[in-house]
C-alpha cells in the first residue's frame, strides 16, 4: 500500500472577504462607465435620443448634443 502525499492547498473560502467586495464594486463601476460610453456611441450612430437621469429628473438628449466622455 502507498502512503498519501502531503498537499499544500489553500482552504476554501465560503464567503466574500472585504477586499473582494471592494474589488467587485470597482469592477462594477468600471463596467457602468463602459456601458454608458457604449450607449452614447450607439445613440450617435443611430441618430436616436439618449435618455438619462440628471439631478433626479429624466432628460432626453438629442444625438447632436451628446458629449463624448
Q: How confident is the model over 26-36, as pLDDT tens digits?
A: 788 889 999 99
Distance CA 30, CA 28 (A): 5
The three three-digit cell numbers of residue 19, written as one number: 477586499
| 67: alpha, beta or left? (left if phi > 0; alpha if psi -120 to 50) | beta
Euclidean distance between CA atoms 13 and 11, whole angstroms: 6
- In the structure grid, which three cell numbers stand for residue 55, read together? 439631478
1-50 per-position pLDDT tens digit: 566 667 777 776 666 666 667 777 878 888 999 999 999 999 999 999 99
**pLDDT confidence of residue 60:** 94
Apex 35 CA angle, 31 and 39, nearest 5: 170
Amino acid at each position: 500500500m502507498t502512503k498519501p502525499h502531503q498537499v499544500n492547498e489553500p482552504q476554501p473560502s465560503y464567503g466574500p472577504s472585504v477586499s473582494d467586495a471592494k474589488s467587485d464594486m470597482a469592477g462594477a463601476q468600471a463596467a457602468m462607465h463602459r456601458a454608458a460610453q457604449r450607449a452614447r456611441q450607439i445613440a450617435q450612430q443611430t441618430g436616436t435620443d439618449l435618455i438619462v437621469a440628471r439631478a433626479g429628473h429624466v432628460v432626453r438628449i438629442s444625438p447632436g448634443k451628446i458629449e463624448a466622455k
